[in-house]
Amino acid sequence: MEPLEILEPGQPIPYGGNRVARVSDDLAAAFRPGDSLIVVQDSGELLHVPQDAAAMARRAVNGAVGAFQAMGSVTDDQITEFFATFAERLEDDAPFAAIAKANEADVLTARERGRSVTRLILSEGMRSAMIEGLRLWRDAPSGRGRVLETIDHSGWRIEQIADGLGPVGFVFEGRPNVFADAVGVIRGGNTVVFRIGSAALGTARAIVAHALDPALAGAGLPAGAAALVDSASRAAGWAMFSDPRLALAVARGSGGATSQLGAVARQAGNAVSLHGTGGTWIVAGSTADDDAFGAAVYHSLDRKVCNTLNTCCIVADRADDLVPVFLAALEKAGARRGTHPKLHVLEASADAVPDAWYSRVVPVARAEGDVEEPQAETIAAAGLGEEWEWEDSPEVTLVIVDDVDLAIEWFNRYSPRFGASLISDDPAEQDRFFARVDAPFVGNGFTRWVDGQYAFGKPELGLSNWEHGRLFGRGGVLSGDSVYTVRSRVTQTDPDLGR
C-alpha cells in the first residue's frame, strides 16, 4: 500500500461507511510526508498527526510495552519502594523546589493567555494529597496473584487469578496531582504512559525529572514503567490512543476532548474508560430540613471540580422557604472565595428568584479576569445539560419542579448522569430516588464526597458518568486496582485425567 504523502484542499475523505468529509485548506497546507491522518468515524473529524508527535507517542508506548514484559520479574517489595520513594521526593523541599518553580512558570503563562488556573496551581494542599495518595498505594496490597475463585474437580482444580492487564494510556487535563493517580496502576503490575495538558507540561517535566524517574530507578523498576509523552501537541495524545498495543485507554478532561479521544481509541480496538463531563445535582424534597439543605449547597461549592454542585432542584411546595436558603448558601459560597456567585434560572422558574438578582450587575471571576455580568439570568430547558466551568465565582442552575419524580426525570434526560443527592427526611422517598435516578453516585447531602481518595481511600484515575450508559462489571471510580485481568491456572493431581 502506498503511504499518504499529500492532501489536497477539498479532497473527499470517506467515513462512517456512507459519508464524506472534505480536507480544509489549512489541513492540506500543514500536512507533510510522514504525517498521519486519523478519521474519526463517528463525526468525520480529520485529525492531523505530525510525524514528530507520532514518533514521540510511539517511543513512550514502546517503553511501556517493554516494561510490562519485565514487570513479571519485579517484586511487590520493589513496587512498594517505588511509591515510598516517589512520595519522599515530593515531601522533600529540595527536589520539590524545582517542581514548584516550574509550576509557577506554568501558572504565569496560563494567566497571560487568559486560561483557567484553578486546577493547575500546585498548592500545598495538592502536594499533600499527592503524597498521601502515593503512600496509600505504598501500603495497598498488590492484587497480583490474588486468587479470585477456586473450582474443584475430581483429579484437578482451576484457580482464577488476578494479574496485570498491560500498558495503560492516560491523557488528562493540566492537573499535576493526577500523577499520583496515574502511577497507581503499577501497584497491580501494569505500566502507564501519559500525556498531560499543555498548560501543565513544564510542571510534569519537573515531576518526572525530580521525583518520578529517580523513584523508578531507585526501586529497580524498568524505566518505561511510567513514561510521559513529552509533547504539548494534542496530536501526541491522538497518536498514543490509536496505538493498538494499549491494554486500556483512559481520558479525563473536558467532555468534547474526552469523547474525541475515546473515539480514536475505540477505532484502534482499545478498551476505553472516559472521565469527562461532570456536574452534580441536588434535589430538595418536601420534607427537606432547611439547615441540612443549606449546608449541602454550601459545602458542594467550595471549588470547581467534577463533583461540584451544578444544578439544584427545589419542589414547588417548598420554594417559598427553600429558595431563600439556597440563595443565602450560594452567596456564602461566593463570599468564602472573595467573589460573587453566578446564577442561572430555568425560564419557567424565573419568578421564584427575587428581581434584584436579575437586575444586579456584579463582577464575576472568569479565567480572563473579573467580568461585569447580571448576577442571575434565565436559561431554556436544553441548558440544564450544561456544566458550568467556573473560576472563583460559584456558578449553578436553579430549577423549581412539581415534585421529586420530575426532578429525577429531568436529571435522567438532561444531565450527564453523574452524581445526584436528595435532601429529604422521608426514608421511602430516599429509596425511590436511589432506585429511579440513573447515576453511579447517589447521596443525601453534599456532593463533593464523590472522590476515590476521599471516599474509598484509593487515588482515582477518574470518575465515570453514565452519559453513554452504565459501566460493565465495575463502579464509577476507576482506580489503580481496577485495572487487572483474570488468568486461569490448572493444577492436575490425577495423571490419567483425560476426555
Q: Could you report the per-residue pLDDT of 444-463, keeping only the tens digit for each?
A: 999 999 998 889 887 788 88
Provide the pLDDT for residue 98.
96
> How far, in whole angstroms, is CA 25 from its chain's centroid?
34
Provide the pLDDT for residue 453.
83
pTM score: 0.85
**Which domain range does residue 359 map to?**
280-453
Give CA–CA dist 405/399, Å, rounded.
13
Rounded mean pLDDT, 8-33: 95
Residues 233 and 317 in one domain: no
**Cα-only R_g, the chain:** 25
Residues 130 and 94 in one domain: yes
In a domain, 470, yes or no: no
Residues 379 and 418 in one domain: yes
pLDDT band at 28 (very low <50, low <70, confident <90, very high): very high
pLDDT band at 281 (very low <50, low <70, confident <90, very high): very high
Question: Is residue 254's pLDDT more than 80?
Answer: no
Question: Is residue 253's pLDDT more than 80?
Answer: no
**What total of structural domains would you count in the chain?**
3
In a domain, 238, yes or no: yes
Q: Is 383 helix (H, G, I), strand (E, B) or coil?
A: helix
Question: Is residue 99's pLDDT more than 80?
Answer: yes
In a domain, 245, yes or no: yes
Provide the pLDDT for residue 175.
81
CATH assignment of the domain containing 193: 3.40.605.10
What grid cell was written down for 241? Answer: 490512543
Question: Given the C-alpha cell 479470585, which residue does it identify?
Answer: 148
Rounded mean pLDDT, 411-426: 96
Provide the pLDDT for residue 257.
86
> Strand 46-49 relative to strand 147-153: parallel, antiparallel, unpaired?
unpaired
Residues 241 and 336 in one domain: no
Residues 271 and 285 in one domain: no
Residues 85 and 33 in one domain: no
pLDDT digits 0-9 by tens, 358-395: 999 999 998 788 999 999 999 999 999 899 999 899 99
**Run of H or E residues at 161:** strand 156-163
Lowest mean pLDDT among 110-114, 188-192, 233-237, 343-347: 110-114
Give CA–CA dist 499/496, Å, rounded.
10
pLDDT digits 0-9 by tens, 155-210: 999 999 999 999 999 998 778 887 778 899 999 999 999 999 888 999 999 999 99
61 with 243: CB under 8 angstroms?
Answer: yes
Residues 421 and 291 in one domain: yes
Residues 43 and 96 in one domain: no
pLDDT band at 421 (very low <50, low <70, confident <90, very high): very high
In a domain, 198, yes or no: yes
Provide the pLDDT for residue 180.
78
Q: How far lies 359's CA from each of 356, 378, 393, in Å?
A: 5, 12, 18
Residues 215 and 335 in one domain: no
More confident residue, 129 or 346: 346
Q: Quick one: 297 exposed, middle or buried, by C-beta within 10 A (0-12, 13-18, 19+)?
A: buried
In a domain, 461, yes or no: no
> Of 331, 345, 319, 298, which is closest to residue 402 (Cα–Cα)?
319
Residues 253 and 331 in one domain: no
Residues 206 and 260 in one domain: yes
Contacts (Cβ under 8 Å, ≥6 apart) of 207: 90, 99, 176, 179
For the chain, what percent of residues have pLDDT higher than 90?
Answer: 79
Continuous H helices in 38-183: 51-70, 76-91, 93-112, 124-139, 178-182
Lowest mean pLDDT among 148-157, 360-369, 459-468, 478-487: 459-468
pLDDT band at 68 (very low <50, low <70, confident <90, very high): very high
Residues 215 and 259 in one domain: yes
Give CA–CA dist 481/184, Å, rounded.
7
What grid cell was written down for 327? Answer: 440563595
322 with 314: CB under 8 angstroms?
Answer: yes
CATH assignment of the domain containing 430: 3.40.309.10
> Of 162, 71, 68, which is closest to residue 488 (Cα–Cα)?
162
Torsion, Cα 454 457 459 463, to 10 degrees, reads -60
Question: Is residue 438's pLDDT more than 90?
Answer: yes
In a domain, 2, yes or no: no
Provide the pLDDT for residue 162.
94
Rounded mean pLDDT, 46-52: 96
pLDDT band at 330 (very low <50, low <70, confident <90, very high): very high
In a domain, 102, yes or no: yes
In a domain, 152, yes or no: no
Phi, psi of 349 (to 5 degrees): -105, 5
